[in-house]
Structure 1
Amino acid sequence: MTDSRTEDIPAPDPDHLIDFRGVEFIRNGRTLVGPVDWQVELDERWVIIGPNGAGKTTLVRMAAAEAFPTRGIAFLLGEQIGRTDMRDLRAMIGISSSAMGNRIPPNEQVGDLVISAGYAVLGRWLEEYDEMDRDQAVEILEQVGAIHLVDRTWGTLSEGEKKRVLIARAMMTNPELLILDEPGAGMDLGGREDLVAYLGDLALNPDAPAVVMITHHVEEIPYGFTHAMLLDEGQIVAQGLIDDVLTSENISRAFHQPISVEKVGERYFARRIRRGGAHRK
């Protein structure tokens, strides 16, 4: 017998890596995110911005196949969440986040940490890695400016160095979708600018995966990003083409502050323009 509920669900668009339709995430009777309609196509690079508690991390956890939506329909990589093996989806999604970093053993060597992503493990045990894996890990570490860390252990790295290594690990599996949760957090100015330059080059690479990045700061948005979403209290303030979304009016609404946004070259900058306004409670 055919499930009539399945018949009522339109087929996913093959160009959409993320396709959220009326998605909500509810815990203890409180709606943390939603309802959200959101589509990410193969060649798009998205940035998600909002104040603390806006629901950014919860949204991308659903996009990373790490959390199930409470309501709505969610397709990832053409598969409907709840009707497919989440482990298969996670294998095609690269993610860099502080939560992952907290699970890494302090004595894990950086080279092994990056390589082990291809084996879907966190922390080397008895695996034997071949030369092709090592060469790929070295190439990726070099791309993110972290090749000098290859023989270091995780526990000896600074926060900025850890961010670079996590991005390298996320790229190791050649993912179809790359999710970056505050990749610039903890970096000094020079390190942040180096990372922004790398991510900008990645965004302009037509062979690179689709990218979704969370940040609190418009200054951390790399050149080459195409779309933006502003979140506040789990609700979408604005989404669409990045220049249409990152306006002074929209940013002021999302952060509950009078903020001026300027674009200089291909980068964005924001500042508060006068006293007044109330920070979101």
Structure 2
Amino acid sequence: MTESPVLRVDRVDLVRDGNPILHDVSLTVRPGEHWALLGSNGAGKSTLLSLLGALAHPTRGTVEVLGHELGRVDLRQLRSYVGHVDPRHGLRSPLKVRDVVLTGLTNTIERIPRWNPTPEQADLADRLIDLLGLGDRRAARWPTLSQGERGRALIARALMPSPRLLLLDEPATGLDVAGREQLIERIDTLQHTYPGLSSVLVTHHLEELPPGTTHAMLLRDGRCLASGPVDDVLTSDQVGKCFDHPIHLTRTDGRWSVRTRRPARP
């Protein structure tokens, strides 16, 4: 028997201040699938992710998250079952990494006064910190972390409630090469460690896609240009159309790289 979709988007439009942002977009994500949303700046990727994370409502069409249709469910309760990782995390206090991760249980930015985790919850936080490669940084303060360390801490935080869905909004933004590669390695590890977990990752750089990416959607001007298994969607021609630039796309050891397609010499 086929498992129910984790996400189902059916012919969605989204209009803001009279401006169309998304038009006739449909998407189905099933358990264990790892999707990439790709497109140039302003294509609608982060807007679509906000719908998937129950942070916004569509203007037209339907969005179902974990079997619940937006508009017919308490969004605050639904968000607690979705691990949404935003690199623009608004923490201002010098919390330790372990405390940042534990805030994933309370779905708050800061630690709640007089709240303490159970021993089992504390053990889970430590396991996730180790899994994300931050074992030697668990007592480090937030302001002292590199951008890459912050990103991995936020992924651990998002996994604390044991969500079925993980949403990653341009997680490699601002990272150097080493930070990017460490992040991709840890995301790939997660996909093997939690085989039932589904994920959607937003980026406009194909080099940032983990090897375990199973599906992709190409967005251009708020419309779906192509959607489906990565081998069918991520082709030189289709990615070139998406970004309006002639490109040559290759994949080696599960990782993608992009170069400008040079015209044939006469």
Asked if Structure 1 and Structure 2 have the same fold, meaning a TM-score greater than 0.5 normalized by the shorter chain, the answer is yes
The alignment partner of 2:6 has SS state of strand
Task: Out of 13-22 and 118-127, give the one that drifted further.
Answer: 13-22
Alpha-carbon distance in 1 for matches of 2:98, 2:194: 27
The alignment partner of 1:174 has SS state of coil
Q: Which amino acid aligns with 2:109?
A: L
**Aligned residue for 1:5?**
none
TM-superposed CA distance for 1:122, in Å, is 1.7
TM-superposed CA distance for 1:110, in Å, is 1.6
**Aligned residue for 2:103?**
116
TM-superposed CA distance for 1:95, in Å, is 0.9
**Structure 2: which 5+ residue stretches go unaligned?**
none
**Aligned residue for 2:47?**
58
- Does the aligned pair in 2 maintain the 1:22–1:72 contact within 8 Å? yes
- Does the aligned pair in 2 maintain the 1:203–1:223 contact within 8 Å? no
Are 1:33 and 2:16 counterparts?
Answer: no
- After superposition, the CA RMSD in angstroms is 1.6
Alpha-carbon distance in 2 for matches of 1:90, 1:260: 39
- TM-score, with structure 2 as normaliser: 0.93
Task: Out of 174-183 and 266-275, give the one that drifted further.
Answer: 266-275
- Does the aligned pair in 1 maintain the 2:3–2:31 contact within 8 Å? no
- Does the aligned pair in 2 maintain the 1:60–1:179 contact within 8 Å? yes
The alignment partner of 1:16 has SS state of coil
- TM-score, with structure 1 as normaliser: 0.88
TM-superposed CA distance for 1:94, in Å, is 0.2
**Equivalent of 2:239 in 219, 239, 251:** 251
Q: How does 1:67-146 map to 2 (within 5 A)?
A: 67-99=56-88, 101=89, 103-126=90-113, 127-146=115-134
Identical residues among aligned pairs (%)? 36
Q: Which amino acid aligns with 1:133?
A: Q
- Does the aligned pair in 2 maintain the 1:203–1:225 contact within 8 Å? no
TM-superposed CA distance for 1:14, in Å, is 5.6
- Does the aligned pair in 2 maintain the 1:14–1:78 contact within 8 Å? no
**Structure 1: which 5+ residue stretches go unaligned?**
1-12, 276-281
Alpha-carbon distance in 2 for matches of 1:244, 1:203: 21
Q: 1:125 to 1:43 in 2, by over 3 A?
A: closer
**Equivalent of 2:31 in 11, 29, 42:** 42
The alignment partner of 2:37 has SS state of strand
TM-superposed CA distance for 1:120, in Å, is 2.0
Aligned residues: 261
Alpha-carbon distance in 2 for matches of 1:36, 1:159: 33
Q: Which amino acid aligns with 1:27?
A: R
**Equivalent of 2:144 in 134, 149, 156:** 156
1 or 2 for the larger relative contact order (CA 8 Å, sep ≥6)?
2
